[in-house]
Structure 1
Amino acid sequence: MEKEIKNISFTVIENGIQTPVVTRHGSYPNLMYLLKEELQLESFGECGGAGRCATCLVTTKSVTGASLIKERNEPNTLEQLGYTDQATRLSCQIYITADLNDAEITILEI
Structure 2
Amino acid sequence: MKNSIQFTVIEDGQNQQIETFHGAYPNLMYLLKDKLFLNSFGECGGMGKCATCIVKTTGIKGNSVTKDRNEPNTLIKLGHTEENIRLSCQLFITQDLEGAQIEILENIF
Q: TM-score, normalized by length of structure 1?
A: 0.95
User: Partner of 1:69 in structure 2?
Assistant: 66
Q: Kindly state the Cα deviation for residue 55 of structure 1 after the two structures are TM-superposed.
A: 0.2
User: Partner of 1:54 in structure 2?
Assistant: 51
Q: Kindly state the Cα deviation for residue 73 of structure 1 after the two structures are TM-superposed.
A: 0.3
Distance 1:15 1:71 in 2: 28
Q: Kindly state the Cα deviation for residue 14 of structure 1 after the two structures are TM-superposed.
A: 0.4
User: Partner of 1:36 in structure 2?
Assistant: 33
What residue identity is the alignment partner of 1:30?
N
Distance 1:11 1:36 in 2: 15
Q: Percent identity?
A: 59
4+ residue segments displaced more than 6 Å: none
What residue identity is the alignment partner of 1:103?
A
What residue identity is the alignment partner of 1:79?
I
SS of 2:55's equivalent?
strand
Aligned positions, number: 106
Distance 1:86 1:96 in 2: 19
Q: TM-score, normalized by length of structure 2?
A: 0.96
User: Partner of 1:79 in structure 2?
Assistant: 76
Distance 1:42 1:26 in 2: 23
Distance 2:23 2:96 in 1: 12
Q: Choose from 83, 93, 108 the match for 2:90.
A: 93
List runs of 5+ in structure 1 lacking aligned partners.
Answer: none
User: Partner of 1:6 in structure 2?
Assistant: 3
Distance 1:30 1:48 in 2: 11
Residue 16 (structure 1) aligned with residue 22 (structure 2): no
Distance 1:100 1:81 in 2: 25
Tell me the C-alpha RMSD between the 2 structures.
0.6
